[in-house]
Amino acid sequence: MARGASSASSGLITWLGLALIILIADQFTKTLILGYYRLGDTTYVTSFFNIVRAHNTGAAFSFLAGASGWQRWFFTIIGLAAAVFIIWMLRTHSGQKLFSFAMACILGGAVGNVVDRLLHGYVVDFLDFHWANWHFPAFNLADSAITLGAVCLILDELLRVRRGK
């Protein structure tokens, strides 16, 4: 194997390893919530944060949660397609650190939520931030990783455009 191919392969393994760590952390926390909380149970943590067990059959912000069930498979297929695309992107761009970090975060989070959809038919959410009577929709570590990845993708693009000037 050529030296360049070897370093690209080791880079890919690094980013897939990060995605796996995110997946494991996500599934571990969801297993704890499923084991210790019933649907709707809440634990007060601070004046602005609770742990709560919530189920989301839709996508972000419960988009399509009220649909008849087809959305489970629709979002599963989208998640799997995204995972394949991200792995291809990581394989071809593993040397771009910020970009690859972002993609690995999105990959780990997307697969974490796909696992939930396949196992349970819904995504387990448990992080509940609120202020007064306003509650941000509950979310989980997978959602956090996807959000971090999206922010890093935007930052990577801004930095790339700035370097191009």
Catalytic residues: 125, 143
Crossing angle between the packed helical segments 3-36 and 97-120, to the nearest 10 degrees: 40
Beta-strand relationship, 134-135 and 123-131: antiparallel
Q: What span, in angstroms and rounded, lies between the C-alpha atoms of 65 and 117?
A: 12
DSSP letter assigned to residue 139: B
Q: Is 54 helix (H, G, I), strand (E, B) or coil?
A: strand
CA distance 54 to 119: 15
- The first and second tokens of residue 16, run together, are 């897939």
Question: How many Cα atoms within 13 Å fall on the side-chain side of residue 68?
Answer: 0
